[in-house]
Amino acid sequence: MTNLIDTERAMLDLEGAPWRYGAAKERAIAERFGMEPVRYRQQLAALIRRPEAMEYAPIVVGRLRRAVGL
């Protein structure tokens, strides 16, 4: 079992969902997490560095890590 909180799992779940339009994703971020996309991305960047995130969503985290050059 992972040590991620519900919000962190929800962030990874959101990243795993298909998004056709960036604006729809940004709206979902604001509605679900109550934060601006910039703050969300900062938290996501920290989250994908954690081994618990890789354990919870290895495909999503691997894709995100490759996208940022980790």
pLDDT digits (tens, 9 = 90+) for 12-30: 999 999 988 889 999 999 9
Structural domain contains residue 1: no
Structural domain contains residue 17: yes
Torsion of CA 15, 69, 5, 31, to 10 degrees: -40
Structural domain contains residue 60: yes
Give the up-direction half-sphere exposure of residue 36: CA atoms within 13 A in the CB hemisphere: 2
Lowest mean pLDDT among 21-25, 30-34, 51-55, 58-62: 21-25
Structural domain contains residue 40: yes
Domain that includes residue 41, residue range? 6-67
Structural domain contains residue 11: yes
The pLDDT of residue 31: 95
CB-based contacts of 11, cutoff 8 Å, min separation 6 = 33, 40, 43, 44, 47
Task: Return the structure tokens found at 51.
Answer: 């081994």
